[in-house]
Structure 1
Amino acid sequence: MDTPLTPPVDPAAAPLGDLPGCGPRTLEKLAARGVLTLQDLWLHLPLRYEDRTRVVPIRALAGGPAQVEGRITAVESGFRFRPQLKVAVEDESGATLLLRFFHFHRTQVASFGIGRRIRVYGEARFGAHGPEIVHPSYRLLDEADPGVLSGALDPVYPAIEGIGAASVARLVAEAMRRLPPGEALELLPAAWRTRLGLPTLCEALALAHRPPAGTDLAALAEGRHPALQRLVFEELLAHHISLRRQRIAMKREGARAIASGGELAARLRAALPFSLTSAQERVFAACRHDLAQASPMLRLVQGDVGSGKTVVAALAALLAVEAGRQVALMAPTELLAEQHLANFAAWLEPLGVRVVWLAGKLGTRARTQALAAIADGSAQVVIGTHALMQEHVAFHDLALAIVDEQHRFGVHQRLALRDKGADGRCVPHQLVMTATPIPRTLAMTAYADLDVSVIDELPPGRTPVQTVAVSAERRAEVVERIRGACSDGRQAYWVCTLIEDSAEVEAQAAQSTFDQLMAQLPGLRIGLVHGRLKAAQKQETMRAFKAREFDVLVATTVIEVGVDVPNASLMLIENAERLGLAQLHQLRGRVGRGAAASTCVLLYQPPLSAMARERIEAMRASNDGFVIAEKDLALRGPGELLGARQTGLAGFRIADLARDAALLPAVRDCADVLLAEDPARADRLVARWVGGAARYAGA
């Protein structure tokens, strides 16, 4: 291990005000983009590079970017249809290249003298008269000018609003001139650089901004080059340490151990009409161990739709109730919260446990009674939505906070619920659940602040859902398939989706489909639910469908979570090509919840894009949510899988979790060493890469 660092003045943190050309207005525009220090400019990496290190003979042009040098042989400007300037350039190979300009001025035309030497760079293409470049960058050369070629590739930087591309390049170049030499910036221990074959930070930045001639541009673009891998590793390491620090801060706060005998949990298990799977047993045992500690449980339980997370949460809740403490369960929607209320009431109330409901739609009297029961402790388990976090909600003794579909809540919301049980010395235990499977590699980084448990086994008796893709041109066949399923006593969903982000338009689409099916299936009872209905109407329709009062439910994606209808065996998703893999998988999970064989029909509008075809093929190939999640990560990246974690993950500057997953085991091992042996170095890494995002510590 290197000698621990003493915290010197960090040259990377120097402000930008002393850079040439960096006046108040430029500083303001840079700040709006989050560029405040020299380091921010060092990490503002190029989007791509232009290779001006060599001259290509015109005869050898094959399309794509290239640099050419020759003499001007003809100039023509005209205004037919629109202004156009054409300049012919011939080189020593005897071939001619045509330059086209649609925006030009008189002095520019005059500068193109016949016989003058010119060096041109741009995207070569082939027109009716041979190779041409539209709006090239160019340089007119004097006869005495040797035209020395650059020894490095020219960077092209991401735009910063209000600052031209050339100005951005100048600012970054000025910042790079202030890059300290040697080890002044180095935070990655030398032993780890050697082990991973990585350059120093200064070497990596120098190459990333000005790659020498001959650099493998494909390796740079794909993040495989050692210089990029060096920057990616350090960024992933900083984010991982930041999350681990949050966990350490939480654990330091302490919690009151729950070490009940488990009698209530045993009685519930005896009353259940099914046995727990081995995966459920394993996860419940982990929760029970965590709850018995004097530090807060911080556990994420992830499992596919229908894997039985809720019953594990109920068993954990009973451990707290038996110890005389309170439990809160928060869900993101009333539909999902009511599903939990129904399950918990059915399971817990026969055991003498009082379950109380708290949501925004409660009447004044019912709300007053609920708040009183929560405050005096007679409400042993409280289930609700965001209403649980409101200021006037006061718990008597909250010991366990359960958050379902936790990625739908922001950090502040999770903090607000946790704080309901904080007493200055202790905080409640936390159990968070998600039915959105997270790939293992992503979970290692995204949830380093949590212990992750996986329920990777479906209850016995469940049959895999068969998934088929059908063109919208065969819609009539699909309608007949619904008629057949319902005549066998089964129920069906017809989900309508539209690309427009408009509840009103979606409602119209659902209403239109409802009207069509009413005409095509006159003997069936058809229900309709969409986002523009009042909450009470939605709940009543869902209740009626579950009670088999409807054969078919036409719905928008409002039914994605929180509906459990074991008799439903057919799911039809219209315009399936418009949905992401995670949402398609969630909707498919609404069927296959009973013993009957179930089918999911993906009705698509041809022709399919390449991305849509990949998604549909992935759905047909697998029912495993973790396989689907891995594919979704590869197609879309981490942002949409995780939601707004607010810990900087969405703000990776260089790293790409899908692309760089192979580095994560080494990132975790290096973090272990730094946190144990050199916390000062770990602090500086987090400050460099995460900065203000670390303010959510303890979330």
Structure 2
Amino acid sequence: MAKLSQITELKGVGPKLAEQLHKLQIRSLADLFFHLPFRYEDRSQITPIGGLQPMRPAVIQGEVRGATVLFGKRRSLLVKLQDHSGVISLRFYHFSAAQKNQFSTGATIRCYGEPRRGASGLELYHPEYTRLEDGLDLPLEPSLTPVYPATDGISQQRLRLLHEQALELLKADQVDLTDLLPVTWLQQWQLPTLKDALLFLHTPPRETNLALLESGQHPAQKRLILEELLAHQLSLHKLRAQVQADEAPAIHSDKTLQRALLQQLPFTPTGAQQRVVNEIEQDLTQPYPMLRLVQGDVGSGKTLVAALAACDLLQAGFQVALMAPTEILAEQHLNNLSGWFEPLGIKLGWLAGKVKGKARERSLAEIASAEAQLVVGTHALFQDDVHFARLGLIIIDEQHRFGVHQRLSLREKGVAQKLSPHQLIMTATPIPRTLAMSAYADLDTSVIDELPPGRSPITTVAITDQRRPEVIERVNSACAEGAQAYWVCTLIEESEALQCQAAENTAQELTAALPHLRIGLVHGRMKAVEKADIMARFKAHELDLLVATTVIEVGVDVPNASLMIIENPERLGLAQLHQLRGRVGRGSAKSHCVLLYKSPLSFTSKQRLQVMRDSQDGFYIAEQDLQIRGPGELLGTRQTGLQMLRVADLQRDGDLLPQVRDMAQQLWTLHPQTVEPLIQRWLGDAERFANV
């Protein structure tokens, strides 16, 4: 007999219900099984009324002592229910005459609800109830009652009935649901089979330890958590294997160009920079593409690491592409790299959205002929009409701003010569260890964990905006002493127009308050040329104070700027606040950051501002951000689908990731036939790497 797999094979599931179930991501019977309860109710025993505790739901049973309709601000039906241990009130705000008649004096009622303190002591508001007819005793639930994530049009009762039907099929082995983990693993880690784990989690016995379930620590949950994290890990293994199945240029360099570059610099790379460059160079000697993520806190010198990595490829006659998410950051890279490479005879290419017409045609021709050896640009680099002659290395800055697809489509630019380019991904947004081990499992990771000498620590204070005049005076005195300052305007609205308006208003207010200061304004609606001009003037100290939106988050390096005011910091995430603060403290002068917040602050906002006051360590801040916001929001919608985890929780289950990584390696090597079924089971259509 063929085993069932589709949700529509269940009784009562027609096209309309199937469509509603799709909203819950339930398309197959497997999806239904993995649609797990998010909590449980204990309806398996009757609690004496005298033993009820506030806010703890329970089943009670008693005799009606009276039912009265009360008329106050709102009409309500108040029913007194008594058992051998005490009396409680049931209160209904929406009721019919027929309902009132059910509560005749002397009737036996069983109900389930959450006791709360009310006008007459403990009360149950709108409890679920059943009137027990004379001599009839309803059996209690044999197990804990599951409560499922639901959506409009699908009640808990409907979901429970669907699950009951599906679980009966599972018990009878009529469902297509194979156990994909090796039996030896289940024995080694004392885990149940997939079938046993699912039966348990949908119908836990009444004696189950609820606290263990609620904390996600039960072995049945662990069985599914491990499998789901394993599926994500394997999808990234698969991506890595696909990329590394390609051939890449194996580079063995005598370091001539690298030495020439270092000789021009007024400083020496830090030990951490040198270590990371060595790790990259080791990768480049392999005949398959490097996939390496370089993490470095704000100001740790990632651009120099990228430049040193580029030297070996350029010396060997290959092109290098550096892609940044914004034009302002791409231009900063272009300026830095031009200063380093043009004296060495390396020609740079430039391609961004604003490069149009003849200039664009010229850029494309230079890239296609390999005249442009080192090409800097934005996402314009991976458009269809961009053709590289000999692309050997792709450097991507701020990877989290790009999707995996975008990164991989740039890789295809090198395939024309039957060689795929190496990939170096950089980020100044430190990634918490748990996210790095899961979202970036396809990449080797290097960390620049040392700041260049001469950087000054930044003192951070949080001040209510009622003290705004004091803050303006502080800016005045700092600039009078020769320092420069940023004043960053943020708005919660997505509208760029409103953000720009706020910045313009603030610039006018500060110009009126500080008429003797030279004040500039930068926001997202200005033309790139205007922005670049203002930034250049600020860098040259032709301006004392720069009023800006968060466009200055990345890519602006002004060592003389030692004071930053961030308005409404409570509206930004920790990573963004840390990035902004990193614009100061780039010189030797003592630097300060003022978080000018609006009262009252929410609990989460207080937490964020406290973290900013406590630490300048980007990795500590990233870990705190993960705890406060969770991985979905932190990664953004473009990353690998980890925000769609069904059972696992990266914050709660992060400690399992080292085990999961080992499991993935073993499964990949010893049980390759189970890899694709596991990925399909948990990721399905979201498994976005199969066809890149």
TM-score when normalising by structure 2: 0.96
- 1:261 Cα deviation (Å)? 2.2
Indicate conservation of the 8 Å contact 1:327/1:398, yes or no: yes
Counterpart for residue 479 of structure 2:
486
> Over residues 383-428 of structure 1, what are the superposed CA-to-partner deviations in whole Å (9 max), with x where a residue is unaligned?
1112111211111111111111111111222122111111273211
Counterpart for residue 239 of structure 1:
232
CA distance in 1, matches of 2:274, 2:73: 76
- 1:643 Cα deviation (Å)? 2.8
> Over residues 271-308 of structure 1, what are the superposed CA-to-partner deviations in whole Å (9 max), with x where a residue is unaligned?
11111111111111111121221100111111101111
> Over residues 514-541 of structure 1, what are the superposed CA-to-partner deviations in whole Å (9 max), with x where a residue is unaligned?
1221122121111111222233222222
Farther-moved stretch of structure 1 (409-418 vs 183-192): 183-192
CA distance in 2, matches of 1:644, 1:157: 25
CA distance in 1, matches of 2:115, 2:186: 41
Matched, 1:412 2:405: yes
Indicate conservation of the 8 Å contact 1:181/1:202, yes or no: no
Matched, 1:556 2:559: no
> Over residues 307-335 of structure 1, what are the superposed CA-to-partner deviations in whole Å (9 max), with x where a residue is unaligned?
11111111111211111111111111101
Matched, 1:160 2:151: yes
Counterpart for residue 41 of structure 2:
50
The one of 573, 583, 587 aligned to 1:590: 583
Structure-to-structure mapping, 1:168-247, within 5 angstroms = 168-180=159-171, 185-247=178-240
CA distance in 2, matches of 1:365, 1:683: 48
> Over residues 219-251 of structure 1, what are the superposed CA-to-partner deviations in whole Å (9 max), with x where a residue is unaligned?
222212222222111111111111111111111
Counterpart for residue 421 of structure 2:
428
Give the % identical residues. 55
Farther-moved stretch of structure 1 (376-385 vs 61-70): 61-70
CA distance in 1, matches of 2:247, 2:677: 27
Matched, 1:146 2:137: yes
> Over residues 620-643 of structure 1, what are the superposed CA-to-partner deviations in whole Å (9 max), with x where a residue is unaligned?
111111111111111111123323
Counterpart for residue 3 of structure 1:
none
- 1:79 Cα deviation (Å)? 6.3
- 1:695 Cα deviation (Å)? 3.4
**Which structure 2 residue ranges, 5 or more long, are not aligned?**
none
Matched, 1:19 2:10: yes
Counterpart for residue 510 of structure 2:
517
Indicate conservation of the 8 Å contact 1:647/1:696, yes or no: no
Structure-to-structure mapping, 1:119-134, within 5 angstroms = 119-134=110-125
Counterpart for residue 658 of structure 2:
665
CA distance in 1, matches of 2:325, 2:437: 25
> Over residues 59-100 of structure 1, what are the superposed CA-to-partner deviations in whole Å (9 max), with x where a residue is unaligned?
22221122211011212346665453322211122x322222
Structure-to-structure mapping, 1:85-104, within 5 angstroms = 85-93=77-85, 95-104=86-95
Counterpart for residue 645 of structure 2:
652
- 1:651 Cα deviation (Å)? 1.1
Farther-moved stretch of structure 1 (143-152 vs 663-672): 143-152
Farther-moved stretch of structure 1 (174-183 vs 500-509): 174-183
Farther-moved stretch of structure 1 (395-404 vs 600-609): 600-609
Matched, 1:455 2:466: no
CA distance in 2, matches of 1:644, 1:264: 40
CA distance in 2, matches of 1:425, 1:222: 51
For the structure 1 residues 80 and 475, does the alpha-carbon distance in structure 2 shift closer, same or farther, using more than 3 Å as the test?
closer
TM-score when normalising by structure 1: 0.95
**Which structure 1 residue ranges, 5 or more long, are not aligned?**
1-7
CA distance in 1, matches of 2:161, 2:506: 58
The one of 50, 57, 73 aligned to 2:65: 73
1:421 match: secondary structure = helix
The one of 18, 21, 27 aligned to 1:36: 27
Farther-moved stretch of structure 1 (101-110 vs 544-553): 101-110
CA distance in 1, matches of 2:346, 2:354: 24
1:178 match: secondary structure = helix
For the structure 1 residues 698 and 454, does the alpha-carbon distance in structure 2 shift closer, same or farther, using more than 3 Å as the test?
farther
Report the residue type matching 2:87 in the other structure: T
For the structure 1 residues 698 and 289, does the alpha-carbon distance in structure 2 shift closer, same or farther, using more than 3 Å as the test?
farther
CA distance in 1, matches of 2:349, 2:107: 87
The one of 118, 133, 138 aligned to 2:109: 118
CA distance in 2, matches of 1:573, 1:394: 42
Structure-to-structure mapping, 1:492-531, within 5 angstroms = 492-531=485-524
Report the residue type matching 1:129 in the other structure: S
Counterpart for residue 4 of structure 1:
none
Report the residue type matching 1:404 in the other structure: D
Indicate conservation of the 8 Å contact 2:30/2:177, yes or no: no
Counterpart for residue 54 of structure 2:
63
CA distance in 1, matches of 2:418, 2:437: 29
CA distance in 2, matches of 1:324, 1:659: 49
Farther-moved stretch of structure 1 (107-116 vs 296-305): 107-116
Counterpart for residue 340 of structure 2:
347
Counterpart for residue 306 of structure 2:
313
Structure-to-structure mapping, 1:273-288, within 5 angstroms = 273-288=266-281
> Over residues 122-142 of structure 1, what are the superposed CA-to-partner deviations in whole Å (9 max), with x where a residue is unaligned?
121111112211111111112
Indicate conservation of the 8 Å contact 1:160/1:168, yes or no: no
Report the residue type matching 2:306 in the other structure: A
Indicate conservation of the 8 Å contact 2:289/2:421, yes or no: yes
The one of 399, 405, 417 aligned to 2:392: 399
> Over residues 552-573 of structure 1, what are the superposed CA-to-partner deviations in whole Å (9 max), with x where a residue is unaligned?
1111111111111111111111
For the structure 1 residues 454 and 180, does the alpha-carbon distance in structure 2 shift closer, same or farther, using more than 3 Å as the test?
farther
- 1:456 Cα deviation (Å)? 0.9
- 1:698 Cα deviation (Å)? 7.5
Moved over 6 A (4+): 181-184
**Aligned residues: CA RMSD:** 1.9
Report the residue type matching 1:189 in the other structure: P
Indicate conservation of the 8 Å contact 1:407/1:644, yes or no: no
Paired residues, number: 689
For the structure 1 residues 174 and 481, does the alpha-carbon distance in structure 2 shift closer, same or farther, using more than 3 Å as the test?
same
Counterpart for residue 137 of structure 1:
128
Report the residue type matching 1:689 in the other structure: W
CA distance in 2, matches of 1:268, 1:41: 60
